[in-house]
Amino acid sequence: MFADRAKIIIKSGRGGDGHVSFRREKYVPNGGPDGGDGGKGGDIIFEVDEGLNTLTDYRHRRKFAAQAGENGGKRNCHGKNGESLVLKVPEGTVIKDAETGKIIADMSGKNRRMVVLSGGKGGLGNQNFATATMQAPKYAQPGQEAIELEVLLELKVIADVGLVGFPNVGKSTLLSRVTNAQPKIANYHFTTLQPNLGVVDMEDGNGFVIADIPGLIEGASSGVGLGHEFLRHIERTKVIIHIVDAAGTEGRDPIADIRAINQELEAYNPDLLKKPQVIAANKMDAVYGDENEIISSLREEFEKDSMKVYPISAVSGRGVRELLFHVRGLLNECPKEAVVYEPEFVPSLHFFKNEPYTITRADDGAFVVEGPKIEKMLGYTNIDSEKGFLFFQKFLREQGILSELEEKGITDGDTVRMYYNEFDYYK
């Protein structure tokens, strides 16, 4: 099946930790701090690849991670930055947060390369915390954590014109006649499973891209069959061509078919009905003369709503040229800008708004504070020194931990337990 959706897990690189070290050189008895900074973690970058038209590469592999930054070293050595990971996608791919469905990035228009997840910042080495009064800081900063996120990739076809219609009305035949596309054509009652794109080359060189949108069925807007997967491809098109069987060979009612498809389009997104529409009454090679009752009824029903009817034969090419010039005229009246969806979700703001931690009460009345970030800060901070302890307190304040302790009723003299450390609380 056509791979136009994929759910993957992406993870940026963690920042390297800052280093704690001091100069140890002969004839330098009072060497200062020389701990280097950690390297930045690698980014997760999405990039448009013109050679891709499906998301197949992401259907069999689920996890993608950038490289972590290296830790800082002694002698002011900066840790190496982690390598970023570039994920190639087709133009028109929309990247969404899998949990909320909110849009993170739309790889369309001018958006050719976008950083979706930024790598963690490298931690500062102890040399950065030296002051006139604290010349030998024994603490450094840990690297920023990586961001891991499950995202949904959705490919929305970029085409100027979309062909819609029920199965076996001749969409694939028309596409193969007017473009260089070579869709599979057969007389069976199953819908095409993938949108086929082709370029229409007009005589004056002013062509356009046309897509055979897979056949729709009633109930598609409610998710019946593969409805949502097909309807999303119509969102970016500028003009819609309804193809119907004007010869009645399939025993269908063309007017009812057009009404049914428009009803599904409106139920999915009412704005779709604002797009210009035209009707291609196909299979005229099986009709005697230039007109029949079906053509007349189509004109009477729809031309009053500015939907012109063009009798054509996709097999012989009859009437196709007139149809294409009318469509090109409609396109000239449409806005030139591509439809690009605005971001609704910024991962870095979501993940680093608050670091995870828990505050519980022990049996002896002590307030127990735990969390991965707290544990790492304790491991990298020399709380025995005044500067180190102030550095740690600043971290607790920025994370909102001190405020939450006060909300939970802590008072002066109460014990705060953090892993292997105990403190007496004083405001």
pLDDT at 67: 95
Instruction: Give per-residue pLDDT as tens, 39-92.
Output: 999 999 999 998 887 788 888 889 999 999 999 988 889 999 999 999 999 888
pTM of the complete model: 0.61
Instruction: Kindly state the tokens that stand for 353.
Output: 């708004």
pLDDT at 191: 43
Q: What is the mean pLDDT of residues 324-348?
A: 81
SS3 406: helix
pLDDT at 353: 52
Backbone angles phi, psi at 405, to 5 degrees: -60, -40
String of DSSP letters for 227-284 = HHHHHGGGTT-SEEEEEEETT-TT---HHHHHHHHHHHHHHH-GGGGGS-EEEEEE-G
What does pLDDT average to over the chain? 80
Q: What is the mean pLDDT of residues 325-331?
A: 90
Instruction: Give per-residue pLDDT as tens, 233-257.
Output: 788 788 999 998 888 777 788 888 8
pLDDT at 219: 52
227 or 298: which carries more pLDDT confidence?
A: 298
Q: What is the mean pLDDT of residues 33-41?
A: 90
Instruction: Give per-residue pLDDT as tens, 168-217.
Output: 787 778 888 887 655 444 333 334 455 677 778 777 667 788 888 765 55
Q: In which band, very low, low, confident or very high, does the pLDDT at 349 lie, cut at 50, 70 and 90?
A: low
pLDDT at 100: 85
Q: What is the mean pLDDT of residues 20-29?
A: 74
**Burial class (CB within 10 angstroms; exposed 0-12, middle 13-18, buried 19+) of 378:** middle
CB 237 within 8 A of CB 159: yes
Produce one character per residue of 30-52: b if its CB has 16 or more CB atoms within 10 Å, e if not: eeebbbbbbbbbbbbbbebbeee
